[in-house]
């Protein structure tokens, strides 16, 4: 957003970030991604949010990691890129908001081309050791066909090599690194500033001559010295704090459910009951299966790191009328010192379950209540079971082909019962770190959606939200790429409104 808006010299952009600059070398050196960011995150760059106890996961409390640095979570995420769906995401955004001039499959296709010009997305090499065999096993056992188009038509059907926000040398690419830092926009554009270690805390309001509520400025606070500054707003405030902090910020500033705000003593500016509602996330289940047959273990094997690269299947296979409900990532992975092993992770792709994000204090430093409510819609569990069964079928095929060692003990196999699958999923499900849809866009007349189809906060003149909270429902994809397309379009909408007004 900051890059796309400030490419017009007449537009001044100030980006305020509560966290740090991107100085940790492991941001761009991805060789140890999982251990550095997933297992052992540094508090300087990552904030851990503890979710409420999940009733359908035996009371487990999810830990949501969210970034605390320039670039947001795209500076520490798993870098996986997939597109979302022409029909089941982008067309639906147009239908739901009634703003078909802003959101449609065709518009998204154009945005995706722009995106690919900006970001040289890396495709996993199909000739890599064992990928050929895994591809054959997927086709033979499940009947999926290879998706050659790499999502260019915004259709993820079939199975595809995984695609990543990184260079062939495995250096992370993020919107911040690519469009602001490496492009030198930060150094060369006088109309663009980034202020780190400052938290936005409070908006000041006034009424304009049309009696509309206008934000005149934002108080920000230095996270170290605690000194406060007032930033005067010339044109617009764009809130991009992510699906947890954005609803929290709006609620703290009097935009939310009237009863709830009043119970906390917060003056109500806009009664918008949908703020913080509709929280959605993808769940993730990991499966570590059979080892590679002993006769094959000395084969040269190039690994990126210990996450699953390989292939992604979007299932079910015949999803043309309903959208893909789950995805299965499949690879043979190797950790240093271990025999290479078949592994999958299964992600819910279009879950129906919904939770919420809600403040329970007026303190801007207090974390809000996060309740993801996984599997509250039973269909979500059914689809993860299907995905896990497909993963086991591919493993069986690879065993028949002589790639995997049949004597390895496995947690689930072809003889496992449905309740074995259910128990495994309940015990191992975790967040896929895709919190979203808590300040969703909707039709201008729909009182339950806080934003209209221009991403404007209903009831305020000059505030927009542009981040993962605005999706009307969670996209059927890892979020970063659909979010980039959304941001490209948001920048166009803002420019258009600036020239027309
Ligand atoms: C561990 C992990 C792995 C992931 N893996 C993938 C993946 O492989 N592929 C993929 O597509 N997606 C992935 N995601 C999801 C994706 O990265 C996020 O959905 C996306 O980055 C969300 O973007 P956002 O702009 O909504 O919020 P964020 O990226 O969270 O950015 C919000 C920014 O606002 C700042 N902020 C918050 N409050 C304030 C305040 N009051 N004042 C000033 N600044 C503030 C935060 O510090 C942060 O920098 C992953 C996420 C995580 C956490």
Q: How confident is the model at residue 81 (pLDDT cuts 50, 70, 90)?
A: very high
Q: What is the pLDDT of residues 41-74, one digit of tens each?
A: 888 999 999 999 999 999 999 999 999 999 999 9
18 lines ligand 1 (CB under 6 A): yes
On whether both 274 and 411 belong to a single domain, the answer is: no
* Residue 211, phi-psi category: left (phi > 0), alpha (psi -120 to 50), beta (remainder): left
Specify which residues 163 forms β-bridges with. 123
| Final residue before a domain boundary, out of 409, 428, 447 | 428
- CATH code for the domain of 187: 3.50.50.60
Q: Is residue 413 part of a domain?
A: yes
| Final residue before a domain boundary, out of 428, 449, 473 | 428
Distance of CA 455 to the CA centre of its chain: 18
- Other CB atoms closer than 10 Å to residue 389's CB: what's the count? 18
- Is residue 499 pLDDT above 70, yes or no? no
- Is residue 204 pLDDT above 80, yes or no? yes
On whether both 255 and 335 belong to a single domain, the answer is: no
Q: In which element (H, E) is residue 48 found?
A: strand 46-50
What is the whole-number distance in angstroms between the Cα of residue 395 and the centre of ligand 1? 34
CA 179 – CA 249 distance, rounded (Å) = 27
What is the whole-number distance in angstroms between the Cα of residue 305 and the centre of ligand 1? 22
> Residue 493: which of 459, 460, 458, 452 has the closest Cα?
452
Domain of residue 393, residue span = 125-161+283-350+375-428
On whether both 244 and 264 belong to a single domain, the answer is: yes
Q: Is residue 363 part of a domain?
A: no
Q: Is residue 29 part of a domain?
A: no
Specify which residues 342 forms β-bridges with. 332
Two tokens, residue 100:
């078909």
In angstroms, the Cα distances linking 478 to 232, 447, 450 are 36, 28, 24
- Is residue 114 pLDDT above 70, yes or no? yes
Residue found by looking up tokens 């520490």 in the block: 76
Q: Is residue 74 part of a domain?
A: no
On whether both 301 and 420 belong to a single domain, the answer is: yes
Q: Say which residue, 464 or 168, is predicted with more confidence.
A: 464
On whether both 266 and 346 belong to a single domain, the answer is: no
At 337 the pLDDT is: 75
- Other CB atoms closer than 10 Å to residue 363's CB: what's the count? 9
72 lines ligand 1 (CB under 6 A): yes
In angstroms, the Cα distances linking 53 to 146, 168, 177, 374 are 40, 41, 36, 10
**Phi–psi pair at 289, nearest 5 degrees:** -110, -135
Q: What is the pLDDT of residues 24-37, one digit of tens each?
A: 989 999 887 877 88
Q: Which of 480, 483, 488, 490 to mutate to test the pocket of ligand 1 (most atoms within 8 A of CB)?
A: 480
Strands 192-195 and 13-16: parallel
Say whether the peptide bond before residue 400 is cis (omega within 30 degrees of 0).
Answer: no
Q: What is the pLDDT of residues 420-450, one digit of tens each?
A: 999 999 999 999 999 999 999 999 999 999 9
- CATH code for the domain of 292: 3.30.410.40
Q: Is 6 in a helix, a strand, or coil? A: helix
- Other CB atoms closer than 10 Å to residue 443's CB: what's the count? 16
Contacts of 213 (CB under 8 A, 6+ apart): 205, 206, 207, 269, 270, 459, 460, 461
| Over residues 460-464, mean pLDDT | 97
Q: What is the pLDDT of residues 361-399, one digit of tens each?
A: 999 999 999 999 999 999 999 999 999 999 999 999 999
On whether both 144 and 290 belong to a single domain, the answer is: yes
Q: Is residue 343 part of a domain?
A: yes
In angstroms, the Cα distances linking 164 to 307, 395, 408, 481 are 12, 24, 31, 10
On whether both 379 and 414 belong to a single domain, the answer is: yes
Q: Which of 479, 481, 484 to mutate to test the pocket of ligand 1 (most atoms within 8 A of CB)?
A: 479
What is the whole-number distance in angstroms between the Cα of residue 358 and the centre of ligand 1? 18
Atom of ligand 1 nearest to the CA of 220: 42
Q: What is the pLDDT of residues 231-276, one digit of tens each?
A: 999 999 999 999 999 999 999 999 999 999 999 999 999 999 999 9
Atom of ligand 1 nearest to the CA of 468: 26
At 234 the pLDDT is: 92
Strands 341-348 and 192-195: unpaired
| Over residues 191-220, mean pLDDT | 96
Annotated ligand binding at 143? The verdict is no
At 52 the pLDDT is: 98
Please state, rounded to an integer, the average pLDDT across all residues of the chain.
Answer: 94
Please answer whether residues 290 and 143 qualify as being in contact, where contact means their C-beta atoms are separated by less than 8 angstroms.
no
Q: Is residue 238 part of a domain?
A: yes
Report the percentage of the chain scoring pLDDT > 70.
Answer: 97
Q: Is 492 in a helix, a strand, or coil? A: helix
62 lines ligand 1 (CB under 6 A): no
At 300 the pLDDT is: 66
Q: What is the pLDDT of residues 272-329, one digit of tens each?
A: 999 999 999 999 999 999 999 988 877 766 665 556 789 999 999 988 788 999 999 9
- Other CB atoms closer than 10 Å to residue 475's CB: what's the count? 30
Distance of CA 333 to the CA centre of its chain: 24
Q: How confident is the model at residue 215 (pLDDT cuts 50, 70, 90)?
A: very high
Please answer whether residues 374 and 429 qualify as being in contact, where contact means their C-beta atoms are separated by less than 8 angstroms.
yes
At 320 the pLDDT is: 78
**Phi–psi pair at 271, nearest 5 degrees:** -80, 100
On whether both 393 and 411 belong to a single domain, the answer is: yes
Q: In which element (H, E) is residue 494 found?
A: helix 480-500
CA 188 – CA 279 distance, rounded (Å) = 39
Q: Is residue 66 part of a domain?
A: no
- Other CB atoms closer than 10 Å to residue 27's CB: what's the count? 25
On whether both 311 and 408 belong to a single domain, the answer is: yes
On whether both 193 and 252 belong to a single domain, the answer is: yes
At 84 the pLDDT is: 96
| Over residues 346-363, mean pLDDT | 98
CA 93 – CA 105 distance, rounded (Å) = 9
On whether both 318 and 258 belong to a single domain, the answer is: no
Report the percentage of the chain scoring pLDDT > 90.
Answer: 86
On whether both 340 and 443 belong to a single domain, the answer is: no
477 lines ligand 1 (CB under 6 A): no
| Final residue before a domain boundary, out of 428, 449, 469 | 428
Two tokens, residue 80:
């996986």
| Tally of domains in the chain | 2
Q: Is residue 54 part of a domain?
A: no
Annotated ligand binding at 80? The verdict is yes
């Amino acid at each position: 957003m900051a890059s796309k808006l400030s490419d017009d010299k007449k537009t001044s952009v100030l980006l305020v970030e509560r966290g740090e600059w991107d100085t940790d070398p492991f941001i761009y050196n991805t060789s140890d991604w999982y251990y550095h960011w997933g297992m052992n995150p540094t508090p300087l760059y990552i904030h851990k949010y503890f979710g409420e106890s999940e009733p359908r996961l035996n009371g487990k409390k999810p830990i949501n990691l969210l970034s605390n640095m320039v670039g947001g979570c795209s500076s520490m995420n798993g870098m996986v890129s997939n597109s979302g769906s022409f029909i089941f995401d982008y067309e639906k955004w147009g239908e739901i908001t009634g703003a078909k001039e802003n959101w449609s499959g065709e518009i998204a296709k154009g945005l995706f081309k722009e995106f690919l010009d900006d970001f040289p997305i890396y495709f996993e090499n199909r000739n890599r050791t064992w990928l050929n065999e895994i591809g054959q096993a997927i086709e033979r056992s499940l009947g999926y066909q290879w998706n050659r188009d790499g999502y260019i038509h915004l259709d993820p059907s079939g199975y595809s090599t995984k695609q990543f926000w990184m260079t062939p040398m495995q250096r992370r690419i993020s919107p911040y690194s690519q469009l602001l830092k490496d492009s030198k926009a930060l150094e060369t554009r006088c109309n663009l500033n980034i202020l780190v270690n400052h938290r936005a805390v409070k908006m000041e309001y006034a009424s304009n001559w049309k009696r509309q509520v206008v934000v005149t400025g934002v108080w920000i606070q230095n996270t170290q010295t605690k000194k406060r500054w007032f930033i005067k707003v010339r044109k617009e405030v764009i809130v991009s704090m992510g699906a947890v902090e954005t609803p929290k910020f709006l609620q703290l500033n009097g935009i939310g459910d009237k009863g709830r705000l009043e119970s906390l003593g917060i003056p109500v500016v806009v009664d918008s009951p949908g703020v913080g509602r509709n929280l959605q996330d993808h769940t993730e289940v990991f499966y570590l299966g059979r080892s590679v047959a002993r006769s094959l273990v000395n084969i040269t094997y190039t690994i990126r790191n210990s996450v699953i690269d390989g292939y992604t299947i979007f299932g079910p296979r015949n999803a043309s009328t309903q959208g893909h409900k789950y995805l299965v990532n499949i690879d043979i992975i190797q950790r240093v010192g271990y025999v290479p092993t078949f592994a999958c992770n299964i992600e819910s792709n279009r879950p129906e379950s919904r939770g919420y994000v809600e403040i329970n204090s007026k303190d801007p430093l207090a974390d809000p209540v996060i309740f993801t409510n996984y599997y509250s819609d039973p269909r979500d569990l059914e689809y993860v079971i299907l995905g896990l069964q497909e993963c086991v079928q591919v493993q069986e095929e690879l065993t028949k082909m002589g790639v995997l060692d049949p004597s390895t003990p496995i947690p689930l196999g072809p003889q496992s019962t449905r309740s074995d699958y259910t128990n495994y999923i309940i015990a191992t499900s975790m967040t896929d770190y895709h919190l979203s849809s808590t300040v969703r866009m909707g039709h201008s007349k729909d009182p339950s959606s806080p934003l209209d189809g221009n991403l404007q906060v209903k009831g305020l003149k000059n505030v927009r939200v542009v981040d993962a909270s605005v999706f009307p429902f969670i996209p059927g994809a890892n979020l970063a790429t659909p979010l980039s397309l959304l941001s490209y379009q948001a920048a166009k909408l803002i420019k258009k409104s600036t020239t027309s007004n």
